[in-house]
Chain A
């Protein structure tokens, strides 16, 4: 097992390429999480379910004969409305409570969403065929599906659009102001309620884009949402809130780690590796940030 890395180095190149393209997707989801965490101080456990829901929208377009790649346009629009509704129904009641309340409430949403998706779409693993073909690299020894390249490009473009929007538009300015100090923003005439709803909607829309990409590159299943939440949480705690380059880099790093774990340990330990990595990172961070006891002599 440990010799695989020397026996077939080209496999590791393949894994790294896959990992980077996968990591861009994770980074987009994590950016949405960082946005709402920074603005509303909420950790959304249902983040992964939003992703899967966005994926199913693309899958339904595929079933009804439209090319699933258009899902990256349709799914964020629908998901924005879903996120907005979710905010109005539940999240606005937990915004000013302590963090655990929001974690538990979104956990409830996550269970609810899983079950509703299970009823609506069935418990089968599905994938939307994009028929994009593949690109061969390095003398045909590394294969890259074009769908993955397409989804990576979509994620990069949407991240750039979002950054420009946050910098230039009026709503973007209001969101940034609320993140810095919600009370001061309120005094200066920002409708924070609207800002919160918009932030949650934008987060859901980002999840929708990522979900549509996942529908054409990977697989969808109603119960696979939670790992996406954990991955984005992990990326956010490594990269910090609102630091897009760091989010992108740690997202790709996580993607590469996951693909390598998949090759070296076996697919059955892939999710275990992700969750164990989170525990290790948190414990490492705790020891790094721990206060040192010093005594007066």
Chain B
């Protein structure tokens, strides 16, 4: 029984009861959970490992396309479905919908993981800004390629199977998605908390602090980097699959491989909350979601201007994030021992 028990219990109760307390904001909250997953998995690379990636959006998009395409292709012809566009001539029955959904979400996790493993050896060998730009290009290239492939709707995009008839209204659909995304966020959090407490987390931090030294100590850094990326890809892929259903519609460059929106959001959320901490991305995602909804509601039309300004302000003036700021302010709460004499000496030096 430690002091965090109440915090965890409170968050879980909030998560479980959230669908009933705020029935009108269910989709907003599911969206928040997806954002939390994106921020936390970005932090595995960007914060813990020191590899600033813009490319996790690749797995998000792949997961989204894989989940819906599988669900459709298991029972209908994918090409005919995308040809039919929004007319929805094909309707899944209840068992079909859930079978397809389950398999689709599972594949949405597995296929990006495999892709991350395959391309990881080539891409993760790059360092610093080369890695950042390469992953940026990867995400955009994937979006442009998806926009040229006919069977998944090309630039038009494709519709996602609708909630089957006879199982309640839209409300039950959003309830279903709400609990799935909450579970995903919870599982991601628990997995990463566990992973950071093991040797794996220490190795990731060693890679961030000095990769060459870590290698000289006999750690197979490449192996850990690839595994780290695969873990991120798995969760981001599933998040993408769920996001497709939350949206109800997939479009290659604006929704699936949306570098300028989700791709930047995940970086921004992690930095806002404090990168390299377990709680930082969670706090950052929550704050960012509130900001974003505010912008999108009150500055409609100017939201991307506000986003650009927000990025510049956060990166330039607030790079340590909320958790970093708290850590600076209350170091004893983070289990750090403060040496008063040392602190005084530092002040004198300044």
Interface residues of A (CB under 8 A from B): 43, 90, 93-94, 97, 99-101, 103-105, 107-116, 119, 226, 230, 233, 237, 266, 268-269, 271-272, 275-276, 278-279, 282-283, 285-287, 290
Q: Is B126 among interface residues, defined by CB-CB distance under 8 A?
A: yes
Contacts A94-B316, A99-B128 known; 19 new A-B pairs at CB < 8 A? A90-B316, A97-B319, A100-B52, A100-B132, A101-B319, A104-B52, A112-B304, A112-B309, A113-B308, A115-B304, A115-B305, A266-B148, A275-B141, A279-B123, A279-B141, A282-B126, A282-B134, A283-B125, A286-B126
In the complex, chain B residues 152-180 whose Cβ is within 8 Å of any chain A Cβ: 155
Residues of A within 8 A of B147 (CB): 268, 272
Q: How far is the CA of A119 from the CA of B306 in the complex (A)?
A: 13
Q: Is B307 among interface residues, defined by CB-CB distance under 8 A?
A: yes
Q: How far is the CA of A83 from the CA of B122 in the complex (A)?
A: 36
Q: Is B312 among interface residues, defined by CB-CB distance under 8 A?
A: yes
Residues of A within 8 A of B128 (CB): 99-100
Q: How far is the CA of A290 from the CA of B264 in the complex (A)?
A: 30
Least CB distance from A102 to B in Å reads 9
Residues of B within 8 A of A230 (CB): 133, 136-137, 140
Cβ proximity bits B230-244 to A, threshold 8 Å, 1 near / 0 not: 000000000000000
18 contacts between A and B (CB under 8 A): A103-B133, A105-B311, A108-B309, A108-B311, A108-B315, A112-B304, A115-B308, A230-B133, A230-B140, A268-B147, A269-B144, A272-B144, A275-B141, A276-B145, A279-B141, A282-B123, A283-B122, A286-B130
- Residue contact B144 to A271, C-beta cutoff 8 Å: yes
- Residue contact B144 to A90, C-beta cutoff 8 Å: no
- Residue contact B137 to A275, C-beta cutoff 8 Å: yes
Which of A109, A237, A268, A279 lies in contact with B312, CB distance below 8 A? A109
Interface residues of B (CB under 8 A from A): 52, 122-123, 125-126, 128-130, 132-134, 136-138, 140-141, 144-145, 147-148, 155, 260, 264, 267, 271, 302, 304-305, 307-312, 315-317, 319
Q: How far is the CA of A114 from the CA of B319 in the complex (A)?
A: 24
Among residues of B, the one whose C-beta sits closest to the C-beta of A272 is B144
- Residue contact B315 to A104, C-beta cutoff 8 Å: yes
Residues of B within 8 A of A276 (CB): 137, 141, 145
Among residues of B, the one whose C-beta sits closest to the C-beta of A37 is B129
Residues of A within 8 A of B122 (CB): 283, 286-287
For B123, B144, B260, the residue with the greatest tally of chain A CB atoms inside 10 Å of its CB is B144
Residues of B within 8 A of A285 (CB): 130
Residues of A within 8 A of B126 (CB): 282-283, 286
Q: How far is the CA of A271 from the CA of B141 in the complex (A)?
A: 7
Q: How far is the CA of A97 from the CA of B52 in the complex (A)?
A: 15
Residues of A within 8 A of B138 (CB): 275, 279
- Residue contact A111 to B140, C-beta cutoff 8 Å: no
Residues of A within 8 A of B315 (CB): 94, 101, 104-105, 108
Q: How far is the CA of A99 from the CA of B132 in the complex (A)?
A: 10
Beyond A43-B129, A90-B316, A233-B133, is A275–B140 a contact (Cβ under 8 Å)? yes
Among residues of A, the one whose C-beta sits closest to the C-beta of B135 is A279
Beyond A115-B308, A272-B141, A275-B144, is A104–B267 a contact (Cβ under 8 Å)? yes
Among residues of A, the one whose C-beta sits closest to the C-beta of B308 is A112
Residues of A within 8 A of B132 (CB): 99-100, 103
- Residue contact B134 to A279, C-beta cutoff 8 Å: yes
Residues of A within 8 A of B319 (CB): 97, 101
- Residue contact A107 to B144, C-beta cutoff 8 Å: no
For B148, B304, B309, B316, the residue with the greatest tally of chain A CB atoms inside 10 Å of its CB is B316
Residues of A within 8 A of B129 (CB): 43, 99-100, 103
Residues of A within 8 A of B305 (CB): 112, 115-116, 119
Residues of B within 8 A of A97 (CB): 319
- Residue contact B130 to A114, C-beta cutoff 8 Å: no
Which of B260, B307, B312 lies in contact with A105, CB distance below 8 A? B312
- Residue contact A268 to B148, C-beta cutoff 8 Å: yes
Residues of B within 8 A of A111 (CB): 260, 264, 304, 307-308, 311
Residues of A within 8 A of B317 (CB): 93
